[in-house]
């Protein structure tokens, strides 16, 4: 069955991949909702039951929006935000806006992937714990099974266990997706592009390789799997403005993938999922100036991360900083009698949050994270306070 609305084609490799056969038949057959703005967006707009007078807001209430955006707040936003997508396409080096899908954070993109690809109570996906929790939550919401192939965690390597994944592909030939988080959360560790390439080329896996790059801007340049998207129809990449761009509150994430996949997601999404204020702020973030500020902030946070690692490892009863440290957080062991100790890590976490005003994340119950806390890199001052509080507790 053809993909409704598709106007450009993406890569045809690898030969063993067929997207249409992965998509739920009801989604493939879906006649997308046609919203008013899909038809016309200029003229006297009496087509969408909007408020003809305008927004109920005090004058100048919305800071940072252009006057024309403020006066359009009573209108539904663009269903496509093509200019924003074009800027993302340019930055991530894919041909055009047809290769970009926008979501209300990458969390919405994750959910959309499940809803478009996975038949509830039938299909399965693969994750590689320790990993981002929403893959599991969305699987449960959508009644999708999870095959878990833990990362190789020895000495905090946090790399894919390719042999075990291969065995899982043989045992589960109908897997719909593999989620590869790179740099990983909570591991902070990049998965090299050759490894991702090998998963994409593995003929035993017929599903979609979803690379979650929420933290990729903190990693060295040239490590993004966006470079694979134009070569492999079965590779897509999710990114977000919540981390390197510091815009978690606007809820903007995106997927870079083949036009076929983007079209399917677009057909199934809510008509106006991304709001005008969000898109307007996103456009500014992707301006030359915005990108330069993002890069400068990343440099500062990465320097703060390196300084934090150097200092935190001097504190008694702090063990190793695990993983590759390619993100804006670190994973660190709390020791008791020289060994990582999960109950002590939990106690430190609770004491810090409840009595010392510093909130980190307990991760000791995750596979390969025994006795670990995950600590977001702060400003210089925040890191100083964090280190002082840890010293008080651990020395």
Ligand X SMILES: Cc1ncc(COP(=O)(O)O)c(C=O)c1O
Binding residues for ligand X, per CB under 6 A?
A: 105-107, 132, 181, 185, 212, 214, 240, 242, 248, 253
Which residue in the shown chain puts its C-beta closest to ligand X? 105
Q: Which is nearer to ligand X, 253 or 319 (CB)?
A: 253
How many other CB atoms sit within 10 Å of the CB of residue 310? 10
Q: Which is nearer to ligand X, 105 or 371 (CB)?
A: 105
Minimum CB–partner distance for residue 212 and ligand X (Å): 5
Minimum CB–partner distance for residue 361 and ligand X (Å): 10
Q: How many CA atoms lie within 13 A of 9 on its CB side?
A: 5
How many other CB atoms sit within 10 Å of the CB of residue 54? 13
Minimum CB–partner distance for residue 343 and ligand X (Å): 26
Q: Which is nearer to ligand X, 216 or 308 (CB)?
A: 216
Q: Which is nearer to ligand X, 94 or 112 (CB)?
A: 112
Minimum CB–partner distance for residue 197 and ligand X (Å): 20
Ramachandran assignment for 222, one of left (phi > 0), alpha (psi -120 to 50 degrees), beta (any other):
left
H or E segment and range at residue 170: helix 162-171
Minimum CB–partner distance for residue 350 and ligand X (Å): 21
Q: Tokens standing for 303?
A: 């320097």
Q: Which is nearer to ligand X, 188 or 371 (CB)?
A: 188
Q: Which is nearer to ligand X, 134 or 394 (CB)?
A: 134
Minimum CB–partner distance for residue 99 and ligand X (Å): 18
User: CB within 8 A of 240, min separation 6: which ones?
Assistant: 105, 106, 214, 252, 253, 254
d(C-alpha 176, C-alpha 116), whole Å: 10
d(C-alpha 11, C-alpha 204), whole Å: 19
Q: If we measure between CA atoms, which residue out of 333, 312, 329, 332 comes closest to residue 378?
A: 329
């Amino acid at each position: 069955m053809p993909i409704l609305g598709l106007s450009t084609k993406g890569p045809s490799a690898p030969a063993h991949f067929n997207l249409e056969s992965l998509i739920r038949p009801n989604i493939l057959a879906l006649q997308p909702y046609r919203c008013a703005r899909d038809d016309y967006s200029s003229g006297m707009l009496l087509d969408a039951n909007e408020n003809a007078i305008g927004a109920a807001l005090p004058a100048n209430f919305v800071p940072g929006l252009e006057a024309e955006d403020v006066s359009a707040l009573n209108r539904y936003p663009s269903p496509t935000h093509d200019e924003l997508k074009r800027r993302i396409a340019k930055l991530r080096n894919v041909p055009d806006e047809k290769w970009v899908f926008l979501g209300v954070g990458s969390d919405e993109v994750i959910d959309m992937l499940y809803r478009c690809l996975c038949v509830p109570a039938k299909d399965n996906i693969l994750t590689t714990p320790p990993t981002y929790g929403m893959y599991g939550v969305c699987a449960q919401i959508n009644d999708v099974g999870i095959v878990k192939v833990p990362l190789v965690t020895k000495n905090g390597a946090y790399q894919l266990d390719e042999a075990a994944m291969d065995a899982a592909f043989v045992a589960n030939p109908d897997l719909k997706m593999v989620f590869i988080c790179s740099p990983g959360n909570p591991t902070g560790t990049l998965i090299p592009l050759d490894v991702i390439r090998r998963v994409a080329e593995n003929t035993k896996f017929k599903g979609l390789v979803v690379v979650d790059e929420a933290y990729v801007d903190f990693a060295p340049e040239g490590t993004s799997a966006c470079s694979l998207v134009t070569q492999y129809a079965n590779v897509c990449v999710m990114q977000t403005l919540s981390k390197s761009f510091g815009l978690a509150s606007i809820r903007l994430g995106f997927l870079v993938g083949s036009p076929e996949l983007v079209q399917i997601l677009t057909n199934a999404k809510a008509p106006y999922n991304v709001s005008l204020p969000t898109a307007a702020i996103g456009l500014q973030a992707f301006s030359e100036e915005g990108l330069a500020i993002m890069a400068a902030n990343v440099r500062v946070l990465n320097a703060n991360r390196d300084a934090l690692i150097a200092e935190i490892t001097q504190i008694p009863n702090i063990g190793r900083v695990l993983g590759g440290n390619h993100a804006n957080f670190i994973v660190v062991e709390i020791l008791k009698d020289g060994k990582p100790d999960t109950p002590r890590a939990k106690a430190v976490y609770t004491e810090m949050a409840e009595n010392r005003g510093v909130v980190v994340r307990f991760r000791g119950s995750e596979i390969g994270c025994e006795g670990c806390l995950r600590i977001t890199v702060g400003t210089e001052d925040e890191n100083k306070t964090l280190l002082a509080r840890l010293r008080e507790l651990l020395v």
